[in-house]
Amino acid sequence: MKHAPRLTALLLTLALLAGLLPAASAAAPQPAEPRIAADSAIVIDYDTGETLYEKDADTMRVPASMTKVMTAYIIFEELEAGNLTLDTLVPISDFAAQISRNQARYPTAVPLPYGGSLTVDTLLRLILIPSASASCVAMAEYISGTEAAFVQRMNATAQRLGMTAQYQNCHGAHVHYLTARSQAILVREFIRRFPQILDYTSATSATFNGTTYPNTNQLLPGLAFEYEGADGFKTGTINAAGYCLSATAKRDGRRIISVVMHSDNNTTRHTDSTALLDYGFARLAADAPYTDTAFHWSWQAVEELDALGAELHPSGEQFRPEQAVTRAEFTAMLYSALAADGQLPPLPGPEESTQPAETAPPEDTAGEPEQPAPEPEPPFADIDGHWAQAYIEEAAALGLVEGDQYGRFNPDSALTRQDMMVLVDNFVELPEANGLGFDDDGDIALWALEAAARTTAAGLFGGSGGRLFPSASATRAEAAQVVSRVLELA
């Protein structure tokens, strides 16, 4: 943090500073927990990994064809490494062709050509949409030489991801075990690392050799148990497993992931999943400190600052993310966040005099009443009685904010992006660097140019579509995002 270049007569104590920091807002009432028929279930927040609900989520159970998620994950690792492309032709072994016709032992049976080859893209679609087991074997043989060697990689990958799993085959048509929590971990990691997987898992059908195969995940749009926002993930069904389903849905920028294992029937695994997803989204809304941020793009920054105890100046239960942020609001938000995070230098007390003591006797004031010290004048002419007065005064005492030529702070005026850059540059010691290069750099005022260069170089401002829009008013959501990024610099 920058040290004060000057101090005003207002020297506040740390106790007063602590008293300014508001408590985090109270959470809304929590929704009732879902009634889940499946033996194991879990729903997690994709962004944070937080478990929102669980039922026996750490018991090892048979995943059936949910196994194919790990197989597909390793295929995507090979694509990322450049060892495969989606157009790579994979030869179909006689064994893979044979078992592709054995519905009893290797459901679902999608016949593969003897002596032929198929692209990685085709095999991925067959693995993830109709759940073709033999297609997994073909890919395992191509990547690792044998299915057994591929399974070793599956277990090593599971261990690396922190899963509890004991894979014994690459398709799940035969018994092995993992936990519902582990499946959720895998699905989350898959989407985080390879978001293009959703192009496959969101497809409602796949056509191969003239036959159209429906997706076994019926939460997808237009299918029997359609769920708003659902775009994957994978079912699993064999006698030992019952009916399993890992699923994900996204609404207004927030994604959650659910897993059910060992349901009694196809209907129950979908209705259980619907209940889990409903509960997950309701929890996100209930856990949000403000009613209008749970599904806003700025939610994470707002929740972080609220938990820290920063002054966010809400209006009742609303944060108002799309409203223009004022000079007072941003100053209070930034100052209180840095103070709560321990990133502000302490306000010093009065300097001790270094002058020699007077030799003349003091004047006799006996009998005269002691006069109270005069109240210090506010540093700006227009903040007396303002809700943010104390924050502005403290920031001014440290030399972090200045007024205009008339001695006014203009606390309720909308803050432009270049104004915000200057304020941040005053508060934070940033290296001399130039992050500019926007199409509208020429629109930045000369007085803001150096601050804009430093703050953009630090990654605090990124612009949009190659433009910075320096003279546009910033929103409260943008302010929260910037303050959150400032905290990350420490």
Closest CA to 118 of 75, 80, 73, 88: 88
Cα(78)–Cα(120) distance, integer angstroms: 11
152: its two tokens = 């070793």
- Report the run of H or E that residue 257 belongs to, with start and end: strand 254-263
Residue 379's alpha-carbon distances to 2, 52, 134, in angstroms, are 20, 48, 76
Place of tokens 């700006």: 380
189: its two tokens = 């990691």
Q: How many CB atoms neighbour CB 421 within 10 A?
A: 26
> 135 in helix, strand or coil?
helix
Is residue 105 within 8 A of residue 49, CB to CB? The reply is no
Beta bridge partners of 117: 91
Q: How many CB atoms neighbour CB 229 within 10 A?
A: 16
Cα(156)–Cα(300) distance, integer angstroms: 33
Is residue 162 within 8 A of residue 156, CB to CB? The reply is no
Place of tokens 């894979």: 167
Beta bridge partners of 243: 237, 263
Please enumerate in sequence order all residues whose Cβ is within 8 A of that of 305, keeping only pairs 6 or more positions apart, or say none. Answer: 312, 333, 337, 480, 483, 484
Closest CA to 64 of 198, 259, 214: 259
Residue 436's alpha-carbon distances to 427, 445, 473, in angstroms, are 20, 13, 19
DSSP state at residue 91: E
Q: Where are the alpha helices (DSSP H) in 145-265?
A: 147-160, 180-193, 197-201
- Cα-only R_g, the chain: 31
- Report the run of H or E that residue 450 belongs to, with start and end: helix 446-457
312: its two tokens = 């966010």
6: its two tokens = 């000057």
Is residue 53 within 8 A of residue 276, CB to CB? The reply is yes
> 305 in helix, strand or coil?
helix
Cα(303)–Cα(203) distance, integer angstroms: 34
| Catalytically active residues, by annotation | 65, 68, 131
